[in-house]
Amino acid sequence: MKENIQIGLLVLIAGMVGYQIVSQHNAPAPSATMALNAAAPAASNPFAEPAKTGFDPLTPPAAAATPVSDKPRTAVNFSKSEHDFGKVISTSENTYKFAFTNTGTEPLIIENAVGSCGCTVPEYPKAPIPPGGSGEIKVVYKPNGQSGAQQKTVTVTANTEPNQTILRIKADVTPDPNAPKTDGATVIK
């Protein structure tokens, strides 16, 4: 029984060392801080994680090194990459559709589209767009409480080179004249 435990611990240690070697091989070049931390004396616990080396025993090294898209690359052309809504009211809902065409030779696969804040919500086609095909990314901007000049972005990730395209929206937000006036927590009618 004692021998089985010892063998099991040796296998576990060997696995952790092997994993750490693979993890460090796939990690980005160490920073000066990481190099200093790596030179620090080892902890008394042989199973403790080294300080700030990027080693995470719960995350496989491939997860950190996986490319955003391993699909064949294509090209996309947006007719406009920026839209100015002009003056909008703070309680309004503003929609714009960014039109695009797949100008490459492979199907365009949009993997994700993310707004820079919760007030900017994009919708994008989930199906592949064939070469020469077109589509649109619908962006809904709700300024809810914002005021003044605003600039937001939508980051589109696809099987293009580069794999991210930035779309921009602008607006000059003014208070809603019909909204109840407030003075701190008190509503003034």
**pLDDT tens digits along 132-148:** 999 999 999 999 989 99
Higher-pLDDT residue of 75 and 145 is 75
* CA 12 to each of CA 16, 46, 83: distance values in angstroms, whole numbers, following the listed order: 6, 12, 56
Over range 165-185, report the average pLDDT. Answer: 85
> How high is the pLDDT of residue 186?
55
Q: Confidence band (pLDDT; 50, 70, 90) for 177?
A: confident
**Pairing label, strands 110-115, 148-158:** antiparallel
Higher-confidence position of 189 and 6: 6
Q: What is the average pLDDT value for the chain, to the nearest integer?
A: 76
- The pLDDT, as a whole number, for residue 38 is 38
Q: Specify the domain boundaries for CATH 2.60.40.10 within the chain.
A: 76-174
Q: What angle do CA 73, 78, 82 make, to 5 degrees?
A: 130
CATH of the domain spanning 76-174, picked from 2.40.160.20, 3.40.50.720, 2.60.40.10, 2.60.120.260: 2.60.40.10
Q: What is the dihedral of CA 178, 184, 187, 188, to 10 degrees?
A: -80
Q: What's the pLDDT band for 59 if we cut at 50, 70, 90?
A: very low
What is the C-alpha to C-alpha distance for residues 82 and 170, in angstroms, rounded to an integer? 8
